[in-house]
Amino acid sequence: MRQKKLYKVTFLHLGKSYELYARHVASSALWGFTEVGELVFETAGEGLVVDPTEEKLREEFKDTRVLHLPMQAIVRIEEVERRGTLAIRDAADGQKVMPFPMPPRNGR
């Protein structure tokens, strides 16, 4: 059986860079947005190691069916083979994470 595609989505929100994994990424019916659905979190396994970032993201997005992210907030979307570690980073801490450039206002 063929496995569903897995995407790593990196986006900016409130000065932070979020990295999530999802099974569904598509253009949203809302103009200017990208929809990200079927978020993938680590299942409670046999180990006792708990990743605080994973827990924070799981709690933040626990009731979320689909995220509708503004296109200019998305840094990158990668199709990946397997899930890695989730991350929340400070976008201003020297990481090379920049929002998509926006056109000047009023044609200036």
Model-level pTM? 0.76
Which own/partner pairs from 86-89 qualify as long-range (CB within 8 Å, at least 24 positions apart)? 86/19, 86/20, 86/21, 86/41, 86/51, 86/53, 86/54, 86/57, 87/17, 87/18, 87/19, 87/53, 88/16, 88/17, 88/18, 88/19, 88/53, 88/56, 88/57, 89/16, 89/17, 89/19
Amino acid 1: pLDDT = 54
pLDDT the model gives residue 80: 95
Question: For 65-106, how does the pLDDT look when each residue is reduced to its tens digit (9 = 90+)?
Answer: 999 999 999 999 999 999 988 888 887 764 544 445 556 666
